Structure 1
Amino acid sequence: MRRPGLWAASTAAVVALGLAVATLDAYGTTTRPTVPAAAAAGVEDDGADCPVANTAPPATSLLPDPFTKLDGTRVTTKSGWRCRRAEIKELAERTVYGQKPAKPANVTGTVSSSGITVNVSDQGRSASFSASVSLPSGTGPFPLVLVVGGLGADTATIKASGAAVVSYNPLDVGKEGTARNAKSGAFYSLYGSTSSTGLLAAWAWGASRIIDVIEQSGGAVLRADAVGVTGCSRYGKGALAVGAFDQRVALTMPIESGTAGVPAYRSVAQESGAQPLSSGYSEQPWLGDAFGSYQSNPGGLPVDTHEVLGMIAPRGLFVMENPHVDWLGATSGSVAALGGAEIYKALGAGGNISYWSDVADGTHCAVRSEWKAPLQASINAFLKKSGTPPAVFRVSAKKAGNLSQWRSWTTPTLADDGGGTANGGTTNGGTTNGGTVNGGTANGGTTNGGTTNGGTTNGGTTNGGTTDGGTSSGSSGGTGGGCTATHRTVSSWNGGYQGEVTVTNAGSGTIDHWAVAMTLPAGEEIASLWSGTASGTGGIVTVRNAAYNGTLGAGASTTFGFTVNGPSTPPSGVSCGTS
């Protein structure tokens, strides 16, 4: 059951949807249309009132289904996700992080243009810590980015974007270099040196107390409703925990976080050269003590990191990774990000998650030019409520994971509970950003499971043709054997692009399998593919369904995705058959 003493729940953050035209963004990538950025919740945990059974799902070597509740039923509505998220949160605390306590009985402090002080007391114990503040030019109050450990996204770009930089030393809250039975820092002064809570959850707790103080300050200097967080390496692990466990954080930006951060535990255990789970557990007490039982048995974990990323949905998330250092497990990071993106898609907020590992510089925690424009766009969209999110996936061919190898579940389209919008959701049965409803997609997919003359309507193409290179609002497609296939370019860059094909059963009966044929132009080669199995990587390529997405009822749809190295010209002759 849920722990006593947590805050009462609030209603989920609500955002409106609008259709947008695909544009060429500042970093030269064609991005899909996006929904407006989702607002952060007004409370630390809006599912605190949700009952969570003291059970766990069956062990599995694949990524657990984020949409199946502990009682065995699946989430069907956006409002239902609130309590499913609460289940994921508590399972993560029980097995991965250790408990993150709720707000202590007393939190006080100060906020100035140069620093923040935090004083906490609970059950007769007290502790204090602080953070430094560096304001941008202009007049406040300012949005802010909490930089864990002073190491994260480029602070010059953050300030130039109009956000304050708050440097938070997490070691004041949970010190590294300690034994698990002798932890120290402000958190452990309150909850005991033998607490089973790991450093990452302790660091997240400290960040939440900083937000408490900003809330209480009256907003003269900093805005508590416009908080971002970033960190690199071990502090990237901490930044992920901060954003996942506090719904007041509007934008989460972990960088090169490695094992115990973004990379999926099940995948990283098999990724050559990646930091082993045993090392991630023993190097520092980052993870909770309970994780010790899973360091050689990740399949026994009731959660994985794709669900931790999903805890952030529909709020802003920009994951940055380095494919040049094997130890960082970027292949497993892309697996987790692709899995987390399915949660965003189900909530109708697919544009609110971005991922970028396609970088040239292999130096760990370097300031990278490739990330500057999407960083600015993320700050503008989620902290300043201006413009749209970057909505880009740039997966390096060096470390490209295949989600279809790691899941047996499908992604639902969560309903709107009466036609309103919630959590970046959809309205009146339609979706944006490539999500599906009633077997169809909007903005470059099919609508209501149907097509027109082999092409798509509402932003797609007709007669099987392509629209100007297949931007995110256009598609190519054809029919055959009772199914249709439409392609859209999700994003493109110099030397490649990411594509997505929507397969729809256009007949009146059920199909049990499908195959899509498409022709890649000369010089193009598939680098990675998920949610399907490909024969060939260049020229004429045939993609057949994965084991879990071959059966489609009348009007139902599914998707597979891929990245291509070479010119950014979309495939031609895209067609679907069931034989």
Structure 2
Amino acid sequence: MTIRSHRPRLRLAAVVLTVAATFAAGLAVAARTGTAEAALVSTVEDEGADCPVPALPDAGSLPTNAKLPDPFKRLDGTRIATKSDWRCRREEVKKLAEKFVYGEKPGKPQSVTGTVSGSTITVNVTHNGKSASFSAGVSLPSGTGPFPAVVVLGGFGADTAAIRAAGAAVINYDPYAVGKEGTPRNNKQGAFYSIYGSTSQTGLLMAWAWGVSRIIDVIAQSGGNVLRADGVGVTGCSRFGKGAFVIGAFDQRIALTMPIESGSAGVPIFRGIPGEGAQSLSSAYGEQPWLGDAFGTFTGSPNRLPVDTHEMVAMVAPRGLFIMDNPHIANLGPRSASVAALGGAEVYKALGAGANITYWSDIQDGNHCANRAEWRVPLQQHIAKYLLGTGNETGTIRIAAKAQGRLSDWSDWQTPVLSDSQSPSPSRSVSPSASVSASPSASASPSVSPSVSPSVSPSVSPSVSPSASQQPGRGCSAVLTVQNVWDGGFVVSVRVTAGAAAISGWTVRLALPGATVTNLWNGRLTGTDVSNATWNGSLGAGAATEFGFQGTGPATGLAATGCTAA
């Protein structure tokens, strides 16, 4: 995600509603994704570790394909035919994602020890003569344990009060202790890089995932007196939503994965981000070393990727997945995120686990990472089903019409009917698993299965013209575009372009009549001036970078009034 906050614990107050009130709020009827079926949680981090994986292609030999890769097609060109085939096909997807997107996630180190109490988890790791330690806070619910637990990244995820009220503990995980932001790619810092080296090509998201896996190791070794290793969920919002998504995809011991508003480098399909106006891939790659170093060659050509995020969604299958998104901020890529969910849902359905995935962007509050009334009840239902084993709520797809993606626009493959035996099975078209309720204003494709609701933010301006500041003699120019507007707030992107000569830094003067910047990314704010971050100041002749911000107040009159180069 692109929106940066240095105060992650600043939250809107949660609004508590009953089930009846929540589901009678006049929203569209949800389309059910399948029959209820318990999630299959593994006792090991990677079930397919023993699967033989063919040699992966080299980056230079990858063909261009604007369609999403077929998740059912093996590297050897054949398609899987049985549900049991998915175990090794998933391992292929994992290896592709590691090589081209996130960097490698090493397996369990030689030694993992630690302690679990009602207030703290300690983790001590030793591998190849190198050691590192980190800890996480624990907050228990009322009652008698052992308890399931939800790992909350950076104190910034699903409503922790609702989590504890549902009967699950909260593990407060500081991902920066494992992979620190603000570091260059050749000098990454944190517990992961203390073990595997500061020049490791593995990005922060995968390092954060490795850290949660080590927490689960310690819980599993602790005897289960306080926390249960077979009832672990994970959640995070914004950059921590990216992390939660990767954590759930790459550890099959995670019973419930709940990313929120994850944005570019999170759930949204890479192929869809350039056309949606979301944070660009080059911006997400440059903002922090979230993605692996190898992804740098794909920021301008995502169609060359042999894998995309719909397959990371599929990697979570058949376990519980609850994706929460915000349709009001185009910079988050919600349309592309809905396509990823729809594509991954096809794997869920093929495995007979369609009831285990939920995607929900049908919300009214456009503020980034707010606690929302619409999500409180389903959050607790998901905890009951996947962590406590006491619920059977069926997954749902609720996509707001204003950010509706269509899988048919991105898919040229059919979903097979996977058998329980080794005999081949026919394929079926991508189709709804239940009746579809669609808004008359929505452009629904018959090959898409979401429930599409009317736009819930009538105050959003349909279009805002960009403003530009051109100063040829100063070595750079800036173009400001208002990406999204809602009642009392907005999101803006600013593109900075070097002139005829290379520059080593830049500063953009903003006009913000009556408005206040609340979150800024890819730059540093001083008054109404934004200067470059450490990683995006040097631009070659004619090269460009982007920064952006979320603000409160009117969006009228916003402009970039000057650009000064260093």
Shorter chain as denominator, the TM-score bin is 0.7 to 0.9
CA contact under 8 A between 1:374 and 1:390: conserved in structure 2? no
CA contact under 8 A between 2:249 and 2:316: conserved in structure 1? yes
Tell me which of the two structures has the higher relative contact order, counting C-alpha pairs closer than 8 angstroms and 6 or more residues apart.
2
Tell me what 2:373 maps to.
369
Task: Provide the secondary structure at the position in 1 that maps to 2:284.
Answer: helix
Q: TM-score, normalised by structure 2?
A: 0.72
Post-superposition offset of 1:36: 2.1
- Distance across 2 between alignment mates of 1:401 and 1:65: 18
CA contact under 8 A between 1:322 and 1:328: conserved in structure 2? yes
Please list, as runs of the form range in 1=range in 2, the aligned pairs for 1:352-367 lying within 5 A after superposition: 352-367=356-371
Tell me what 1:416 maps to.
420
Pick aligned residue for 1:234 from 234, 239, 257: 239
CA RMSD of superposed structures (Å): 2.4
Pick aligned residue for 1:106 from 111, 125, 130: 111
Task: Provide the secondary structure at the position in 1 that maps to 2:90.
Answer: helix
Letter in 1 for 2:220: E
Tell me what 1:41 maps to.
42
Post-superposition offset of 1:563: 2.9
- Distance across 2 between alignment mates of 1:303 and 1:69: 12
- Distance across 1 between alignment mates of 2:358 and 2:230: 21
Tell me the alpha carbon deviations over residues 354-406 of structure 1, each in whole angstroms, 9 at most, x when there is no partner.
Answer: 01101100111100000011101110110011121341111011111111110
Post-superposition offset of 1:149: 1.1
Tell me what 1:59 maps to.
64
Alignment CA distance shift 1:25-1:208 (3 Å): farther
CA contact under 8 A between 2:414 and 2:427: conserved in structure 1? no
Tell me the alpha carbon deviations over residues 174-215 of structure 1, each in whole angstroms, 9 at most, x when there is no partner.
Answer: 000000000000000000000000000000000000000000
Pick aligned residue for 1:27 from 20, 23, 38: 23
Tell me the alpha carbon deviations over residues 111-147 of structure 1, each in whole angstroms, 9 at most, x when there is no partner.
Answer: 0000100000000000000000000000000000000
- Distance across 2 between alignment mates of 1:279 and 1:354: 29
Structure 2 segments unaligned to the other structure (5+ residues): 1-18, 456-566
Tell me what 1:385 maps to.
389
Task: Provide the secondary structure at the position in 1 that maps to 2:276.
Answer: coil
Tell me what 2:440 maps to.
525
Q: TM-score, normalised by structure 1?
A: 0.71
Tell me what 2:160 maps to.
155
Post-superposition offset of 1:561: 5.8
- Distance across 2 between alignment mates of 1:223 and 1:30: 32
Tell me what 1:93 maps to.
98
Structure 1 segments unaligned to the other structure (5+ residues): 1-22, 420-428, 430-435, 446-471, 473-487, 490-496, 499-523, 533-558, 567-579
Alignment CA distance shift 1:271-1:380 (3 Å): same
Task: Provide the secondary structure at the position in 2 that maps to 1:131.
Answer: strand
Pick aligned residue for 1:135 from 140, 152, 165: 140
CA contact under 8 A between 1:528 and 1:563: conserved in structure 2? no
Tell me what 1:216 maps to.
221
Tell me what 1:266 maps to.
271
Task: Provide the secondary structure at the position in 2 that maps to 1:528.
Answer: coil
Letter in 1 for 2:355: G
CA contact under 8 A between 1:526 and 1:563: conserved in structure 2? no
**2:254 aligned with 1:249, yes or no?**
yes
- Distance across 1 between alignment mates of 2:78 and 2:50: 20
Tell me the alpha carbon deviations over residues 430-461 of structure 1, each in whole angstroms, 9 at most, x when there is no partner.
Answer: xxxxxx9897999x98xxxxxxxxxxxxxxxx
- Distance across 1 between alignment mates of 2:430 and 2:195: 51
Please list, as runs of the form range in 1=range in 2, the aligned pairs for 1:305-344 lying within 5 A after superposition: 305-344=309-348
- Distance across 2 between alignment mates of 1:94 and 1:234: 21
Tell me what 2:476 maps to.
none
Post-superposition offset of 1:150: 1.2
Post-superposition offset of 1:330: 0.5
**2:149 aligned with 1:144, yes or no?**
yes
Letter in 2 for 1:279: S
- Distance across 2 between alignment mates of 1:437 and 1:381: 32
Tell me the alpha carbon deviations over residues 224-282 of structure 1, each in whole angstroms, 9 at most, x when there is no partner.
Answer: 0000000000000000111000000000000000000000000012112x100000100
Post-superposition offset of 1:326: 1.6
